[in-house]
């Protein structure tokens, strides 16, 4: 497709390519080609009419209008973005224009104004339907199965947080004990190395004295030999202790002890992080317990037995999900550990025993039925008068 230029055809001005004009002998008015959406474009016109530039114009208009509204203390605000971009499901109205407004002012009915009125009605109906759906969702949310499932889900979340808290405390304890043991081994190695160095120096001094001692002095030679033998035995003992200490530190030689440089600061950082995790999980458990209590308080007294029955039905599934979660992180987790988590959650944190609570509620219901057969809200039947009372 070639460039289109503006030509004068009678009283009209139209854009035509030069090849189409050759046989018509028309006068070209403008030397600038038409800016088209596809094909060759005038760069200046293309940039001016681009969607990005249009959005810049609309944004500047939005800011100017909102600034004026704010200065006049008007709460309304405008937004240059479309409903689709903002995620609004409602249908936007169309531009009515001056002509349509004049028709309406003169008592007529404009198609554009009528269309906007219909769009506003449809949007109002859509908002009513959304409110109804939200109300129905809240109603479904408060049904017995939904409440039971939510309570059991919260209970499972508490057990998960409790497991993480237990795991964090165990890591913190092991790290602290390992740190103490490592520090003790490092201190012991330093003391052994110091003693060993002193013993070796002392033995070297004795060897020099023995060499300098004349051979005919037998008794001093014997005493020095005895001291050297004792020092040699002590040095061998210290060497064995040093080797054992290096093995406990997972080092083959003294040169590998360099990896423990800055060990104290690193350990303190790890312990600080574990303490922060411990506090976070403790706060998470408290928050989840408060949520559990809030949901539990929303249960109607007449629905308590039904909720407990529903919870007992879905509890094995939730417990199984918890077991799978723990074993995925700790394959060697024992059944005893899992049962302790569940028992601690029920006894110490939630303070509930569903079986006994269900029996208690059933007994209370039976007792009321036996000893209070007529509810206060229901009118009691009048006692029929005997014949003697009627005759009186």
pLDDT tens digits, 356-374? 888 888 888 888 777 765 5
Share of the chain above pLDDT 70, in %: 86
pLDDT tens digits, 87-100? 888 888 888 889 88
Q: What is the pLDDT of residue 332?
A: 86
CA distances from 388 to 189, 211, 216, 391 (A): 111, 142, 149, 5
Q: What is the pLDDT of residue 63?
A: 93
Res. 375: pLDDT tops 60? no
Q: What is the pLDDT of residue 92?
A: 87
Q: What is the pLDDT of residue 286?
A: 92
Res. 261: pLDDT tops 90? no
Res. 320: pLDDT tops 60? yes
pLDDT tens digits, 186-225? 888 889 889 888 988 988 888 888 888 887 788 888 888 8
Task: For strands 5-9 and 12-16, give the pairing.
Answer: antiparallel
Which pTM value belongs to this model?
0.54
pLDDT (average), residues 346-362: 88
Say how far apart CA 77 and CA 74 lie, in whole Å.
8
- Contact (Cβ atoms closer than 8 angstroms) between residue 305 and residue 313: no
Q: Which of 188, 183, 231 is nearest to 207 (CA)?
A: 231
Q: What is the pLDDT of residue 144?
A: 81
Q: Which of 25, 297, 354, 6 is nearest to 142 (CA)?
A: 297
Q: What is the pLDDT of residue 23?
A: 66
Share of the chain above pLDDT 90, in %: 17
Res. 65: pLDDT tops 90? yes
Q: What is the pLDDT of residue 157?
A: 93
Q: What is the pLDDT of residue 1?
A: 46
């Amino acid at each position: 497709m070639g460039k289109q230029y503006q030509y004068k055809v009678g009283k009209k001005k139209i854009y035509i390519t030069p090849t189409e004009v050759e046989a018509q002998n028309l006068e070209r008015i403008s030397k600038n080609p038409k800016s088209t959406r596809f094909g060759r474009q005038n760069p200046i016109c293309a940039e001016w009419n681009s969607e990005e530039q249009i959005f810049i114009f609309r944004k500047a208009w939005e800011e100017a209008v909102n600034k004026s509204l704010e200065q006049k203390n008007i709460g309304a605000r405008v937004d240059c973005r479309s409903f689709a971009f903002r995620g609004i499901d409602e249908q936007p109205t169309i531009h009515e224009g001056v002509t349509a407004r004049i028709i309406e002012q003169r008592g007529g009915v404009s198609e554009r104004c009528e269309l906007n009125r219909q769009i506003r009605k449809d949007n109002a109906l859509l908002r009513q339907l959304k409110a109804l759906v939200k109300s129905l969702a809240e109603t479904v949310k408060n049904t017995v199965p939904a409440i039971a499932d939510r309570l059991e889900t919260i209970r499972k979340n508490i057990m998960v947080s409790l497991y993480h808290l237990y795991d964090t405390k165990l890591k913190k304890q092991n790290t602290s004990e390992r740190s103490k043991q490592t520090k003790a081994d490092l201190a012991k190695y330093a003391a052994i190395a110091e003693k060993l160095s002193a013993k070796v120096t002392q033995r070297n001094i004795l060897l020099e004295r023995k060499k300098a001692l004349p051979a005919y002095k037998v008794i001093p030679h014997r005493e020095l030999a005895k001291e050297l033998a004792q020092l040699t035995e002590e040095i061998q003992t210290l060497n064995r202790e040093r080797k054992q200490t290096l093995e406990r530190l997972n080092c083959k030689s003294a040169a590998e002890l360099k990896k423990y440089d800055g060990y104290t600061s690193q350990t303190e950082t790890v312990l600080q992080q574990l303490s922060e995790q411990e506090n976070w999980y403790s706060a998470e458990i408290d928050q989840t317990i408060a949520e559990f209590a809030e949901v539990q308080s929303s249960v109607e007294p007449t629905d308590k037995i039904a909720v407990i029955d529903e919870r007992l039905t879905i509890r094995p599934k939730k417990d199984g999900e918890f077991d799978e979660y723990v074993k995925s992180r700790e394959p060697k987790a024992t059944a005893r550990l899992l049962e302790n988590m569940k028992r601690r959650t029920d006894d110490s944190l939630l303070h509930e025993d569903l079986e006994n609570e269900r029996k208690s509620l059933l007994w209370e219901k039976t007792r009321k039925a036996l000893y209070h057969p007529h509810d206060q809200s229901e009118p009691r039947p009048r006692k029929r008068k005997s014949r003697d009372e009627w005759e009186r």
